Structure 1
Amino acid sequence: MRDRILMAAIEEINYHGVRFTMNDLAKRLSVSKTSIYEHFSSKSELIHSILISVTQDIQQQEQAICNNAALTFAEKIAAILKVAPTMLGSINNFRLKDDLQLYYPNEFQITQKFNEERQERFLSLIVQGIETKALRPINTKVLRQIIASTLDDLFSYRFLSESNMTIPDALTAMSDILVNGLLPKKE
């Protein structure tokens, strides 16, 4: 039942954003609110559980990519840059980041901390690639700033809606540009 509640909550987030009510959720599940509260003491706990599950999912995907000996450094970098949550389905509400910041600041801080840790893991991979000469030397401080700024802007509601893109579309495009650059492929 707990997983059913989580999945239904993600559907509500996609439809109403984080402003969905527990009544909305109970109606979607065709259960009483009491049944939901048997598994989650509050809506904040439910939102928190979703975010923890999503961050764990992303970490597992990234770890699998890093441990895949069949991938080159460039392929690992491209794959990591495209990682999006899959474990609990896709959260497609573009306003989620803004809504979390406004209505659930503690949970928003979890996402911010996770993103910072994720960037550190990514930069560690880059440094490893530079040290092993799999990648050319670059200024990692500049790369860190490019990625941090780009992710903030790519996930903005305005950019995604005006560009008619999904988050995975934006991540794929960013990955292509960062890994393959602007120059045409050599023949």
Structure 2
Amino acid sequence: MRDVIVTKALQQINEQGLKFTTAGLARKLGVSKRALYEYFNSKEDLLGAVFDLILNDLRQQISRICYDEGLDPIEKLTALMLASPKALGPLTEQVLNDVNRFMPNQWKKFEKYFEDKWEKVELVISQGVEKGLFRAVNLAILQKIYMGTVEKLSDFNFLFQNNSTLKNAITETAEILIYGIMAPDCRNTNPSSVSVPGQMQACAR
């Protein structure tokens, strides 16, 4: 029953935001409100269980990706960037934004996940550098770019104004971080050797 409550709670959260009521959830489940409190001490306790399940699912995915010998570093890095909850389902952008703004203790769980994920990202980048697939970069700066981007992309208003979803925004971010803004035909061109604008244009021909 506990798992059923958590699953239905996520649905209510995504439909109504953090303002959903335990009374409404109980009605959806066809049980009494008291029955819910046999499994959870409070609404925040229930929310914590939802977030924990989502983050644990993500951590398991990240670990599998990182140690999958069938993937090269580029494939691993892409998969790490695009990982999304599967067992329970994702939270909407609005909910993530509200958790960030109104539930700092719960948001710390997400920040810890992002930090743990970054450690895996650094490991994969190091593997890529060793194989000559990535160039060595300042990982501290790259981390700032990544963490700042994740925080900004969680802004529901930004996504709404740009007619995007969090998944699509992160997909584009991953592509930019991995490949930059250089056109595909120019990616093997050494930037330091291109000094004349016409040379840069020629690489795409």
CA contact (8 A) 1:119 1:144 kept: yes
Q: CA deviation at 1:102?
A: 4.3
Cα distance in 2 for residues equivalent to 1:171 and 1:102: 20
Amino acid at match of 1:183: M
Higher alpha-carbon deviation: 115-124 or 65-74:
115-124
Runs of 4+ deviating beyond 3 Å: 131-134
Paired residues for 1:1-187 under 5 Å = 1-92=1-92, 94-186=93-185
Cα distance in 1 for residues equivalent to 2:100 and 2:78: 29
CA shift in 2, pair 1:78/1:87, >3 Å: same
Matching residue of 2:193: none
Cα distance in 2 for residues equivalent to 1:71 and 1:45: 38
> For 1:2-54, what per-residue CA distance to the aligned partner results, in whole angstroms no more than 9, with x for missing partners?
11111111111111111211011112212111111111121111111111111
- Name the % identity: 32
- Report how many aligned residue pairs link the two structures: 186
Q: CA deviation at 1:78?
A: 0.7
Query: RMSD across aligned C-alpha pairs, in angstroms?
Result: 1.7
Cα distance in 2 for residues equivalent to 1:174 and 1:19: 31
Question: Aligned with 2:184: secondary structure?
Answer: coil
Higher relative contact order (CA 8 A, sep 6+): 1
CA contact (8 A) 1:44 1:104 kept: no
Q: CA deviation at 1:103?
A: 3.8
Amino acid at match of 2:161: E
Cα distance in 2 for residues equivalent to 1:101 and 1:167: 15
Matching residue of 2:194: none
Amino acid at match of 1:82: L
> For 1:102-121, what per-residue CA distance to the aligned partner results, in whole angstroms no more than 9, with x for missing partners?
44332122222222222232
Cα distance in 2 for residues equivalent to 1:31 and 1:60: 32
Cα distance in 2 for residues equivalent to 1:71 and 1:109: 31
Question: Which structure 2 residue ranges, 5 or more long, are not aligned?
Answer: 186-203
Cα distance in 1 for residues equivalent to 2:164 and 2:172: 10
Cα distance in 2 for residues equivalent to 1:133 and 1:102: 41
Cα distance in 1 for residues equivalent to 2:173 and 2:132: 23
Q: CA deviation at 1:132?
A: 4.5
Cα distance in 2 for residues equivalent to 1:134 and 1:177: 16
Question: Which structure 1 residue ranges, 5 or more long, are not aligned?
Answer: none
